[in-house]
Each structure stands twice: as C-alpha cells, then as structure tokens.
Amino acid sequence: MIIVLRLGHRIERDKRTTTHVSLVARAFLADEVIITGERDEHALETVRKIAENWGGTFKTTYEKNWQPVVKRFKEKGFALVHLTMYGLPLPEVLAEIKKNANLLIIVGGEKVPSGIYKQADFNVSVTFQPHSEIAALAVFLDRYRGNLEAYTKNFGGQLRIVPMKSGKKVISAGKSR
C-alpha cells in the first residue's frame, strides 16, 4: 500500500499544487493522499470527482496535523519516505526502499518540520537542485513502481484515454469525445 502525506496545505498558496500532488499520486498508483494543514474542501472534492470519473479506488482525506498520521503509519509498519532535495540520491536507496510493500511518502508544503527528517526511514532526493514536490513524487513513484503498470492498469472509470499518435480521444460510457 502506498499512502502520500501532503504536509501543511495552505488554501490560497497551495490549491493547485496540492491538487496536482494528488493527481500524480493517483495516476502513478498510490492508494491515498492525506492532506494536512488548512482544510480545503474544494481540493478534496476536485480529486474525489476525478477519481469517480476516471475510476479506481483512490482516496483523498484530510487530517489537521501530520504527527498523528506519521505515528499511526509507523506503528502499522509502514516505511516513511520523505522526498527532499537534501536526502540521499534515489538510485542509492531505491533497492532498500523496494523491500517495503507499505510506504508513507511524505511531501512538503510549508517549511518541513525537523521532526519529519528525524522520523523518516528514508530522506530521499530525486535531484539536489530546487524542484517541486509534484516532480519529486512523479519521479519517485515511477522509479518505485516502474512505469508500465500505470499504462496498463484498468481503472474502470467512466472516462478513458485512447492513445493516439496525433490528436486526442477520450472514451466516455461507450461514446468518444
């Protein structure tokens, strides 16, 4: 099971970023995103509607504080993977991380508290240059899962992309758009 913990959501500053973190998590086969910080019903509902239309069992939930979330998943035996540009290079730790079937992947929002760095089993970097949490999550999940499954999984949704060399086509309940 893969759960993504989005730290410190701020409604005005992070609305698109948090939504995009959730979309990447879903598309790359995470099971759930837990958003902490300010409660944002619009962001939660946007992701719920996408999951409803495009299928799958992805969940998005809210908890005010990150500490109980980290404690709960640590007690359940999940490996805590904190994505940070200050961590160890992903290629050096990926094999060790892959030994864990259950991950709590932590991505920042506001300044990441030092407790996250201390409690994480893995502080992991996809690059040592400034980048977004969206990019870090996409790269990490792609490397952890391998990208083939994201292309072949049938989410069972009402909407489905038809791959094309040119143009775009979406199938909706037996009709194309």
Q: What is the pLDDT of residues 128-174, one digit of tens each?
A: 998 999 999 999 999 998 866 666 677 888 888 888 889 998 888 65
Are 32 and 5 spatial neighbours (Cβ–Cβ below 8 Å)?
no
Furthest-apart CA atoms within the chain: distance in Å: 51
Q: Which of 12, 10, 52, 58 is nearest to 35 (CA)?
A: 10
Tally of CA atoms within 13 A in the half-sphere of 123 that contains its CB: 14
Task: Give residue 140's pLDDT.
Answer: 97
* pTM for the whole structure: 0.91
Task: Give residue 66's pLDDT.
Answer: 96
Which residue's structure tokens are 């007690």?
75
| Alpha-carbon dihedral angle through residues 53, 5, 15, 84, given to the nearest 10 degrees | -130
Is CATH 1.10.287.110 the classification given to domain 2-176? Answer: no
Sheet holding 2-9: strands in order across? 59-62, 32-37, 2-9, 103-107, 79-89, 122-125
Q: What is the DSSP string of 81-144?
A: EEEEEEEEEHHHHHHHHTT-S-EEEEE-SSSPPHHHHHH-SEEEES-SS---HHHHHHHHHHHH
Domain regions of the chain by residue span: 2-176
Tally of CA atoms within 13 A in the half-sphere of 108 that contains its CB: 21
CA distances from 108 to 58, 75, 137, 152, 168 (A): 20, 22, 11, 30, 34
Q: Which of 103, 29, 22, 115 is nearest to 65 (CA)?
A: 115
Low-confidence ranges of the chain (pLDDT < 50): none
Task: Give residue 150's pLDDT.
Answer: 67
